[in-house]
């Protein structure tokens, strides 16, 4: 960068830099330019009327902050410790299937990004290049493995054993996909992904019961996460089975339509868990303020799904790292403006119910972004 284009230090402090992406919405815009309609719909779409997805955003937007002032916030630390590891942010790059649609490196690129930045990564069992190769690509990252059950007990045990052998920190069982939903953006184009055509063993996922949770807890020492918990009743059953992490999720609104927003569910789960397990949450978390709200409401880690895909489609591995850097910047500023210097000082007293200022939408976290709608 020559002297004429050098960014003044004051501008850097205010957020400007020499980077290509200086706002999160710029990653989304670049992703749209890079992707065809089929791949784009895979990211932005949800089930049927897409009501659950919109409620995810609405639930976040219904929370306002109660900031405290005249506190020394010259040094703000956004890091946390989970699984005995320090992370720069309380963020897990959530499990997303078919990441190869967005970048040739697929989940390996995302895992490397998480490791180099200092976030956690959860690998979907239906994303390339697979369990062992992702571990080889990012051996030092905090990696977790998420399973869709496609076989009986032997299949599940094999998946857990392979996860342990490849150094995954935790094993996740997804439980909200007993039936695959109607993704109407795909149906309207008469499109079915090749991986969906090849998929087998769907009846095993439909028949999944708590006995499989017990099987894993009885036979293996690896921490167990249950993803897709949406009620206090099921959280209590999970606790009875010794589950280590409750993952509050509605699959980004992509499974059950007319469900509750994730941030509507989180306080109920946090109350039921009462510290007896750790909590993850995902569902349209796109900004630093979203992350802060979730941690204040009782979560320990926040899953980033769609935003991860947009960043990957925009600029591959480097795009995901840049997305995390921007989130970190937003988080640090938010914490400082709330009058706290770390997540440890945060609790629900910093939150207040409010009326949303924006209509909920997949892009409502990015008011400067306009995406031309596709006509099906």
Catalytic hit among 179, 251, 258, 264? 251
Task: Tell me how far apart the alpha carbons of residues 134 and 112 are, in angstroms, rounded to a whole number.
Answer: 9
Closest C-alpha among 107, 95, 218 to residue 145: 95
Angle at 349 between CA 347 and CA 353, to 5 degrees: 115
Three-state SS across the chain? Answer: CCHHHCCCHHHHHCCCCCCCCCCHHHHHHHHHHHCCHHHHHHHHCCCCCCHHHHHHHHHHHCEEECCCCCCCCCCCECCEEECCEEECCCEEECCCCCHHHCCCCHHHHHHHHHHHHCCEEEEECCCCCCHHHHHHHCCCCEEEEEECCCCCHHHHHHHHHHHHHCCCCEEEEECCCCCCCCCHHHHHCCCCCHHHHHCCCHHHHHCCCHHHHHHHHHHCCCCEEEEEECCHHHHHHHHHCCCCEEEECCHHHCCCCCCCCHHHHHHHHHHHHCCCCEEEECCCCCCHHHHHHHHHCCCCEEEECHHHHHHHHHHHHHHHHHHHHHHHHHHHHHHHHHCCCEHHHCCHHHEEECCCCCCCCCCCCCCCCCCCCCCC
Return the residue matching tokens 């020559």: 2
Q: Is 361 annotated as catalytic?
A: no
Give the catalytic positions in this structure.
Answer: 251
């Amino acid at each position: 960068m020559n002297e004429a284009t050098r960014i003044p230090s004051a501008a850097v402090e205010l957020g400007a830099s020499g980077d290509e992406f200086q706002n999160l919405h710029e990653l989304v815009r670049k992703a749209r330019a890079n992707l065809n309609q089929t791949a784009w719909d895979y990211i932005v779409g949800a089930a049927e009327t897409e009501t659950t997805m919109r409620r995810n955003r609405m639930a976040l937007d219904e929370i306002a902050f109660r900031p405290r002032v005249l506190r020394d916030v010259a040094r703000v630390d956004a890091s946390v410790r989970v699984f005995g590891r320090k992370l720069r942010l309380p963020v897990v790059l959530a499990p997303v299937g078919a990441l190869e649609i967005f970048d040739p490196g697929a989940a390996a690129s995302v895992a490397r990004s998480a490791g180099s930045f200092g976030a956690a990564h959860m690998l979907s069992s239906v994303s390339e290049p697979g369990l062992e190769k992702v571990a080889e690509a990012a051996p030092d990252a905090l990696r977790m493995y998420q399973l869709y059950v496609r076989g009986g007990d032997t299949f599940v045990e094999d998946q857990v054993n392979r996860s342990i052998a490849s150094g995954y920190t935790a094993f996740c069982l997804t439980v909200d996909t007993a039936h695959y939903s109607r993704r109407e953006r795909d149906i309207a184009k008469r499109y079915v992904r090749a991986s969906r055509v090849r998929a087998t063993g769907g009846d095993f996922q439909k028949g999944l019961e708590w006995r499989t949770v017990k099987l894993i807890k009885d036979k293996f020492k690896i921490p167990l996460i249950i993803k897709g918990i949406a009620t206090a009743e099921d959280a209590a059953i999970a606790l009875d089975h010794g589950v280590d992490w409750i993952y509050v999720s509605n699959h980004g609104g992509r499974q059950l339509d007319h469900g509750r927003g994730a941030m509507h569910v989180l306080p109920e789960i946090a109350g039921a868990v009462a510290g007896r397990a750790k909590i993850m949450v995902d569902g349209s978390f796109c900004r630093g303020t979203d992350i802060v709200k979730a941690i204040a409401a009782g979560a320990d880690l926040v899953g980033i799904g769609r935003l991860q895909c947009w960043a990957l489609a925009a600029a591959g591995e480097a795009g995901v790292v840049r997305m995390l850097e921007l989130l970190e910047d937003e988080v640090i500023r938010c914490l400082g403006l709330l009058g706290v210097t770390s997540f440890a000082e945060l609790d629900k007293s910093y939150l207040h119910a409010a009326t949303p200022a924006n209509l909920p939408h997949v892009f409502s976290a990015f008011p400067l972004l306009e995406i031309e709608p596709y006509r099906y």
